[in-house]
Structure 1
Amino acid sequence: MLFPTFGKTNLMKYILTLFLVLFVASFQAQNLEKISKEINEEGITLYRSEMASWYGTDIFRENYNKMENVSGYFSYIDESVPKCIFFSKDNKVLATIAFPTNYNPKNAKLDLKERDFTPVETEYFTIRQNALARIKKDTIFKVYKNTSFNIVPIIKNKLKKVYVLTGPSVDNVVVFGNDYLITFDNKNEVKHIEKLHNSMITQNVSDEKVGKTISGIHSHVIENWQTITPTDICTLMLYQKFTNWESYITISEKFASIWNPNNNLVIMKTENFKNMTENIRKGKEEKSKSKEVIK
């Protein structure tokens, strides 16, 4: 009685097809949720490292007066504690700055005692230096005016990688793109290098014509990075205190990613995103027409 136009065979095919469609839709939703969670967590890991580097650099410069001895720095998470390490030209640790989870510089612990790297720090140092050497000689890495590279080594779940982000050296600008991911083998040798964006994208925090911006959007075209990237998440979190953006969107042929400052990330198919925005637009138009009729 429920399907009067179906024979038994066609009814079974219909039910199986419907079940398959629902299963695929559910699987895709769960898969996108999993991808979203992984990207967001990686972005937060990058952010925690970069925050330690940002504040660690300021604290170090205020308390160390022999900058000619410094060769470089890196940050890492040591049993949930963010630490920034500065090292000398003969590969000795010159300073260790440990931060609370809120990164309040007033509560940071500074240790200027010179020492050797710990075994864990040696791993971070090695992949950081190998990445730097590759950056200097590989033409895939592009340097733009008024920017510099931030080298962020990450060791997580036995995977070793270095993210290379581009940071601006001028105010009122947030830089996305011109970023790279370098992965390493178990001997700390470079295994693979890839670009995360096809180019560099800049957005002003405050615009002369529209004033202070409240959001932003950029597109992704690289096949392997159709969603928002961990570097995008990291950049958005780092600059949130300057931008106060209410949301940010990346869009590609396959996916639209919507981020907000509460660390909520939603990834959906681009076609679904376009349908959603179109429905919102039509809803606003209908609401506007209703107000005009009431007047």
Structure 2
Amino acid sequence: MKQIFFLVLILISSLHLAQDIKYTDSEINKKLDSIKAEGNLLFLLENSSWQSTDLARANKKISKNFGGYITYKSNDTVKTVILNKDKSLVIAEYSFKNNSKKPVKENISQRNLNSDEAALKNIRAKLISQLSDPKYQVGAPEGFSLNIITIPFETNYKNYIITGASESNVIPFGNDYIFVTDKEGNIISNKKFHSRLIPTMTAMPEGSIMTMSTHSHLKTNPFISATDICTFRLYAPFTKLEEFSVYSSIVGGYMIYNYKKDTLVKAKDIK
């Protein structure tokens, strides 16, 4: 009984300390700069995937043999390669630079996967095979899909999962995850950024248009997430929205991101 009571005291103390964490303005700004950089990288990769898969499906020859894709950064270029149905060959390659909506280079000749592409393909397949485990609670509501963005991280890989929306006039914030895997694709650690999907409507049935979007974060995940920024950058150009905000009591206000200016700032109130 004494051991149980002692454990309870430790847990209560730990929770209390977690709730009382405070950050200086310098620490907050440094954290926000890092998150913005990661969010922009996620956007570059996912934007390339969007544009490339649209181009591939519009090409009848490629579309009929489409078996998936791999997206990665190589120096100053983001590449998406389209795989054949058994994922043994590259059947198209699209290269993008500087947030371009059109590829700076297209190659639709068939070739073997290089070593980096083969590694990313295997990691993705291994990760997906593990996500069916109920303990990870990974899934998407009807009408939404999940997209994986993989980034090399030291000797491991960061695998972000974001939600995609098929209907217009909605930004699918939330229902996002990160899985860190080793080079074989085995999960080392994982985190869910939001407790649920936060579908933000950008236009209402009566015709009114949303000009501002905000949601709040729990104390256990107080900062705006890189996935928030990526998702907003993907969908905002189809709306009237230029910025969105996340409220956090730990940060002491709102974190406001503007995609046209690419700025992320902290403010006590929304103007």
Match of 2:75 in 1: 79
State how 1:206-217 maps to structure 2 within 5 Å: 206-209=203-206, 211-217=208-214
Aligned to 2:171: 174
Give the aligned partner of residue 8 of structure 2: none
Note the aligned Cα RMSD (angstroms). Answer: 2.2
- The equivalences for 1:57-136 within 5 A come to 57-65=53-61, 67-88=63-84, 89-105=86-102, 107-136=103-132
**Partner residue in 2 for 1:189:** 186
Counting aligned pairs with the same residue, the percent is 27
The whole-number CA distance in structure 2 between the counterparts of 1:90 and 1:104 is 26
CA deviation after TM superposition for structure 1 residue 74, in Å: 2.2
SS in 2 for 1:208: coil
Larger gyration radius, structure 1 or structure 2: 1
SS in 2 for 1:113: coil
What is the TM-score when the length of structure 2 is the normalising length? 0.82
- Are the equivalent residues in 1 in contact too, given 2:148–2:160 (CA < 8 A)? yes
Amino acid corresponding to residue 91 of structure 2 in structure 1: L
Larger relative contact order (Cα-Cα within 8 Å, sequence gap ≥ 6) = 2
Query: Which residue of 121, 134, 158 corresponds with 1:161?
Result: 158
Greater per-residue helix proportion = 1
Quick check: 1:74–1:152 contact (8 Å CA) kept in 2?
no
- Residue in structure 1 matched with residue 257 of structure 2 by the alignment: 259
TM-score by length of 1: 0.76
Question: Secondary structure of 1:171's match?
Answer: coil
Cα distance change of structure 1 residues 62 and 46 upon mapping to structure 2, 3 Å threshold: same
- Mapped to 1, the partners of 2:196 and 2:28 lie a distance apart of 25
Give aligned pairs, total: 245
- For the 8 Å contact 2:127–2:186, the answer to whether it is kept is no
- Is the contact between residue 82 and residue 101 of structure 1 (CA under 8 Å) also seen in structure 2? no
Letter in 1 for 2:113: F
Do the aligned residues in 2 keep the contact of 1:124 with 1:154 (CA within 8 Å)?
no
Larger CA deviation: 246-255 vs 147-156: 246-255
Deviation at 1:41, TM superposition (A): 0.4
Once the 2 structures are TM-superposed, how far is the Cα of residue 82 of structure 1 from its aligned partner?
1.2
